[in-house]
Structure 1
Amino acid sequence: MKILQINKTDAGGGAAVAANRLNRALRNNGIESKLLVQDLRRNEEGVYAVGSGFGYRQKAFARFAWERLTFLPYERNASVRFAFSPANTGIDISQHPLVQEADIIHLHWVNQGFLSIETLGKLLACGKPVVWTQHDMWSFTGGCHYAGTCLEFLEFCSYCPFLKKPGKKDLSARQFAQKRRIYNEAPLTIVTCSKWLRTLSQESKLLRRKDFYNIPNPIDTSFYTPRNQQEARERLKLPQDKKLLLFGAANVDDPRKGMRYFIEALNILAENFPVVKEDAELVVFGKMNAETVKLFPFKTHSFKFVSNPDTLVDLYSAADSYILPSLQDNLPNTVMESLACGTPIIGFSIGGVPEMVTHQESGYLAEVKNALSLATGIYETLFVNKLDQYRLKARQKAVECYSEEVVAEKYLKVYKSLLK
């Protein structure tokens, strides 16, 4: 059985992390799996690039730039620039040797100039079973990665709120129609990482007739494991006598990450609970505007973008809790990593997060867009409830549900059923 995973890149972004981890988990459990990417950033066994050389990289960047430039006349404003993918340019990999030799094609995230809808259609037409793990909503919408409150995808996308001139036959409607044509007879099986995303995709017009499985992303629980907190803080040069709140994202300033509500919650704590202001500090990693840091009413330790997994494990282990104020998310890798390291989660009850965090057992689930509720969760978790018990439950959840062995076995059952 030969499985070919396909993702835009092998590193950078949640889908890349998930695809790489799955490829590694399958290989570690005796399954012949390879990962094919457009942008190869690490030299890891079992991971291959579509092409190589300066000319190849220039063409890849040109496709990415062209897709972005052609969307500029349509975008509502700059805030949605990367929230919508028109997929109007891409590379045809249907004849690639790894595609030809594979028994099953396994898609992950293919946007930003990697696969266009046209070249995706050629891949689906190869006649091989195709599994598609959903990392966001793009596969069943007219172009957006997260639809927010919009439900047009349930029947036919149009009047798109991401577009400058929404209408009955706008860009989202045209792209939706293209997807419907290529999905129609495709041997496509859908895997969703969260029950939340499964519900949305099963109800969507584009995918409702396909077969569905709900399988989480895997994590190496032997690497992402609790470390001595004092030693981790010493390595990171963080204070030993403070409660540390950890927050991170690829782009901290993305409105979907809920920074507005996090800052509001921190201000509520600073103004009403002197003990929190005195005893707690923030630790933040990820891309973040310098002006944003100035809005935090607590002392802040910034680590910017962290690419070293060893440093990430230290960060989770050093923290007393991980904050997730996201307004819409699937099955966040950061939550999974934090749980595996025994660090409780405090966040809004959105997307797949309630499937990962048990309220007041391994974390605190606040009311969505309610800064007071989020502030309450931070205060109770750090100063009222028993953190040691939360840590044990968090670690237990990760080992039982997200370990490589557990997830690899679930995917193996799917692959075998398709080859029958």
Structure 2
Amino acid sequence: MKILIVNTSERTGGAAVAANRLMKALNNSGVKAKMLVRDKESDTLTVAQLPKSPMKRWHFLWERLVVFCHLHFSKQHLFEIDIANAGTDITNMREFQEADIIHLHWINQGMLSLNSIRKILRSGKPVVWTMHDIWPATGICHYTRGCGYFKTACKQCQLLPGGGSANDLSTAIWNQKQKLLSEHHISFVACSKWLEGEAKKSALLQGQHICSVPNPIDTHIYHPEDKQQARQRLELPTDKRIILFVSQRVTDDRKGMAYFTDAINRLAEQHPEARENMVIAILGGHAEDVAPQLALPVYPLGYVNDEKRIVDVYNAADVFVLPSLEDNLPNTIMEAMACGVPCVGFRVGGIPEMIDHQKNGYVARFRDADDLATGINWVLSNTDYAQLSQQAVHQVNMSYSQRSVASRYIEVYNQAMAYKHYKI
């Protein structure tokens, strides 16, 4: 069985990280898997790149320009909308022709167009599509922000000026997707049970097969290490409790920095001793922008690509906090838990599937900064912290290990091939 995993980027972004890890997990399980990407960032032989062409850049720019026009030339929401009006035809590539199954992941921003996907489906090869967000099941958005129109038909999109209209851009793209999906079968895989449930509500995916399989993680790389040595390598305090926040861009509203800031300030107010024995480490871009707002000392670590250093960051922490307002199955929580770090997050999306409340972390009430502060303090003051840490590692080994996830995907591939054979 030969699998071609298709993703816009090789390494940048959560979907890219997950797709790359899946490729390695499949290869380690005896399945031949390759990645096809637009943005190749390594010399890995199992990762192929789209042919060199000025059109690759144009596909991205053309889509952004069309979206920009529909936003009345405002940059607000510019990168929250994707319409897949431009992309590359990959069906003539050797990697595509040699594959038994085409496995789509995050293919936006000029990687594949809806027409490109139609050509893939018309090739007759079974197609599996892993949903890293809700975009495949909506008109144009990656996160619904509570909007329920995708359950019937997208319209009046809140991302468009004035809240859109009854026949706006979201409606137009919805209709294109609906025509595409009505003609073809795709095996959709959500990364969490929560997203599976949301996808099954979509009128767009009615009649399609939908299941959930979590992202994998390499526990040979992400595992507990000596905390003091990790802190010394990062030049972090060795005598303080460290609260960690991680995001590619920490100012992203969806990641909940405003609630994190509020929770930390409440924690410092309710427990004055925290100012003396706790500090915050922030991994991600724009960390310096938020540091002055926090009541505890902050160590901005910036954006880091080096995996060994990232593992050090997790191992240096005593608690990891991710107050996302909408999320699927965050790689960051999985990485922290694999390193034995208890996590705190809101009860939203796939987060409650990862964190067992008061067993390996704390699940706070949604958008409740006071409960978030309670959760952080509960972890840091827990008399059986070692047990929390062990339970976090156990959860990852049981649910997200390479072997566990690869075996579940192999089942999905076999079912997709059997369905295609049955239809023929």
Q: TM-score range by the shorter chain?
A: over 0.9
Residue of structure 2 in register with 1:390 after alignment: 388
Q: Determine the structure 2 residue equivalent to 1:42.
A: 42
What corresponds to 2:7 in structure 1?
Answer: 7
* Partner SS for 2:244: strand
Q: For residue 62 of structure 2, what is the aligned residue in structure 1?
A: 66
Matches within 5 A, 1:205-224: 205-224=203-222
Q: For 1:298-324, what per-residue CA distance to the aligned partner results, in whole angstroms no more than 9, with x for missing partners?
A: 111111111011011101111001110
Q: Which amino acid aligns with 2:12?
A: G
Secondary structure of the residue aligned to 2:320 is: strand
Paired-residue identity, %: 42
Find the partner of 2:124 among 124, 127, 148: 127
Is 1:86 the equivalent of 2:80?
no
Instruction: Show the counterpart of 1:328.
Output: 326
Shift of 1:214: 1.3
Partner of 1:17, secondary structure, is helix
Moved more, 191-200 or 264-273: 264-273
Matched residue type, 1:69: L
Give the RMSD, CA atoms, in angstroms.
Answer: 1.3
2:196 maps to 198
Q: Give the 3-state SS of the residue equivalent to 1:234 in structure 2.
A: helix
Structure 1 stretch 66-75 or stretch 99-108: which is displaced more? 66-75
1:187 to partner: Cα distance: 2.4
Residue of structure 2 equivalent to 1:142: 139
Q: CA deviation digits over 1:287-346, x for unaligned, max 9? A: 116332211111111111110110111011110011101000000010111111111101
2:302 match: secondary structure: coil
Q: In 1, distance between residues paired with 2:301 and 2:71?
A: 32
Q: What SS class does the counterpart of residue 149 from structure 1 fall into?
A: coil
Task: Give the residue type in structure 2 aligned to 1:330.
Answer: N
Q: How far apart are the structure 1 equivalents of 2:279 and 2:371?
A: 19
In the alignment, structure 2 segments of 5+ residues that lack a partner are 419-424
* Residue type at the aligned position of 1:22: L
SS of the counterpart of 1:294? helix
Gaps of 5+ in 1: none
- Between the aligned partners of 1:291 and 1:46, the Cα distance in structure 2 is 38
Corresponding residue for residue 166 of structure 2: 168
Q: CA deviation at 1:222?
A: 1.2
Partners of 2:59 and 2:329 in 1: CA distance? 29
Equivalent residue for 2:282, pick from 281, 284, 288: 284
1:159 corresponds to which letter in structure 2?
A: Q
1:115 maps to what in 2?
A: 112
Deviation at 1:72, TM superposition (A): 1.3
SS at match of 1:360: coil
Q: What is the deviation of 1:20?
A: 0.5
What amino acid maps onto 1:329 in structure 2?
Answer: D
Per-residue deviation, 1:62: 2.4
Residue 253 of structure 1 corresponds to 251
TM-score after normalising by structure 1: 0.97
1:305 aligns with: 303
- Following superposition, the deviation at residue 395 of structure 1 comes to 0.3
- Give the whole-Å Cα distance in 2 for the aligned partners of 1:419 and 1:7: 21
The one-letter amino acid paired with 1:61 is R
Whether the 8 Å contact between 1:261 and 1:369 is mirrored in structure 2 is: yes
Q: How many equivalent residue pairs?
A: 416
- Distance, in Å, in 1 between the alignment partners of 2:20 and 2:293 is 36
> Shift of the alpha carbon at 1:209?
1.2
Q: 1:414 matched to which residue of 2?
A: 412
Quickly say closer, same or farther: Cα 1:289–1:398, change in 2 above 3 A: closer
Output the CA distance in 2 between the equivalents of 1:355 and 1:111: 27
Stretch of structure 1 that moved more, 268-277 or 308-317: 268-277
* Aligned residues of 2:191 and 2:212 also touching (Cα < 8 A): yes
1:23-81 per-residue CA deviation (whole Å, 9 max, x = no partner) reads 111011100111111111111231111213xxx2x432222122112211223853412
Q: Distance in 2 between matches of 1:377 and 1:150?
A: 29
| 1:228 alignment counterpart | 226
